[in-house]
A and B are shown apart, each in its own frame.
Chain A
């Protein structure tokens, strides 16, 4: 196996695009190195992207955040503004593994590993995040919900690398939240993960809502119907019942050792209800936080 650690995106793209055998991007390695050890992947070339400055920083540009795809969870958590403005994205990212895993794991790796249960992905989908992709043909943007196609399958073409995530500019009275269900309190893979992002009007009525669901289908989902179910409401019971039904209807789960299909469908509704309340309270409180 060959190892390269270029310091420019263009060089990394060149290496990846021109590789003859199996080539892999290495970010934090918390998926890739595990898969290499168990011989699920046997790359001839590994391209470490952590020396590329553009992929390693968090920049606030006109209210939007650009998060390098190779920023670790520990670094995200220490960012003073991100935590305030996008608490749901950050809480989702920080659920990935232990302190040690957080020291390495990245959003780019969590997305591109293309696990249906990746924790940060439903939160990023809810947030309306986009990825900036660099490839042999130049750069393009994709919504996060369009990146993962199925287990271990992404929309990235040969030679393409996710450079950064862009979180849109925040409007007033808006906030996000993420919840997952696992059989223990720490260190496990989501049975269901649910992220939501809400925007309120000054009277407390929801004027925009997006929901992402993880671990309930072959890929993380944007559930448009769930968002639509609560728009115009202030989370009254009929709206919540519609939300719960929409979340459950979107599920196409599998049975595994962590939960049956029926259980996952049930939990998706429960988490949807719980998480919107958290986001709603945060959105109300955000009026007091100056942006």
Chain B
């Protein structure tokens, strides 16, 4: 089976790759484009560690075929820091120690950014429901939720 020539935009850059029809976006990001921020926690849509946005929508990249992104716009955690300056969410996660092993962190950051783009002033309940598809086995979630709330407040103030 011949490979498919994929042209898409990742974090604002035009990228090309040769992919198999059944390869997931997650595998292409990690194995071909050297973007290893998105993690494979489960591969079945349950954990959110592979979260990216596709045309601005939060999705699990493990449940997207890479070929579906032809001519579309993908954003990953690698696009969050700008010119060496961390995104306020990243900064808050560090300050408040909202991570331990860090496997879930890129997914939480991408998901939280998608939330704050839609709703800059979420309640704690809204944050918890929005992030219900992101699993963390280490932190107990509290620090993550607090970091998102604090980052939101800071971003509103800025």
Contact = CB atoms under 8 A, between A and B. Distances in A.
A187 interface: yes
B45 A101 contact: yes
B51 A5 contact: no
Interface in A64-94: 72, 74
A19 interface: no
B57 A103 contact: yes
Contact of A103 (B46, B59, B132): B59
Interface in B122-158: 129-134
Contacts of A103: 54, 57-59
Interface string A40-53: 00000010101000
Interface string B28-59: 00000000000000011110100100100111
Contacts of A3: 4, 21-22, 65, 67
Contacts of A74: 57-58
A74 B54 CA distance: 13
B58 A29 contact: no
Contact of A101 (B20, B54, B130, B133): B133
B59 A186 contact: no
A46 B68 CA distance: 11
A30 B63 contact: yes
Contacts of B130: 99
B111 A100 contact: yes
B85 interface: no
A1 B22 CA distance: 7
Interface in B107-121: 111, 114-115
Main secondary structure of the interface of B (DSSP, over half): mixed
B133 A36 contact: no
Chain B CB count within 10 A is highest, among A48, A72, A98, A187, for A98
A31 to B, nearest CB: 9
Interface residues of B, number: 33
B60 interface: yes
B100 to A, nearest CB: 22
B101 interface: no
A262 to B, nearest CB: 29
A46 B21 contact: yes
B64 A1 contact: no
Interface in A21-45: 26, 29-30, 33-34, 36-38
B60 A101 contact: yes
Given A46-B21, A99-B111, A100-B45, A33 B63 contact: yes
A37 B44 contact: yes
Contacts of A46: 21-22, 65
A37 to B, nearest CB: 6
B48 A100 contact: yes
Contacts of B134: 98
B74 to A, nearest CB: 13
A5 B68 contact: yes
Contacts of B43: 37
In the A-B complex, list the 8 residue pairs whose CB atoms are closest, starting with the nearest. A98-B133, A3-B21, A103-B57, A103-B59, A186-B132, A100-B60, A1-B21, A1-B22
Interface of B: 1, 4, 20-22, 24, 43-46, 48, 51, 54, 57-60, 62-65, 67-68, 70, 111, 114-115, 129-134
Interface of A: 1-3, 5, 26, 29-30, 33-34, 36-38, 46, 48, 50, 72, 74, 97-101, 103-104, 186-187
18 contacts: A2-B1, A29-B63, A29-B68, A33-B62, A33-B64, A34-B44, A34-B45, A36-B22, A72-B57, A74-B57, A98-B48, A101-B45, A101-B133, A104-B59, A104-B64, A186-B132, A187-B46, A187-B133
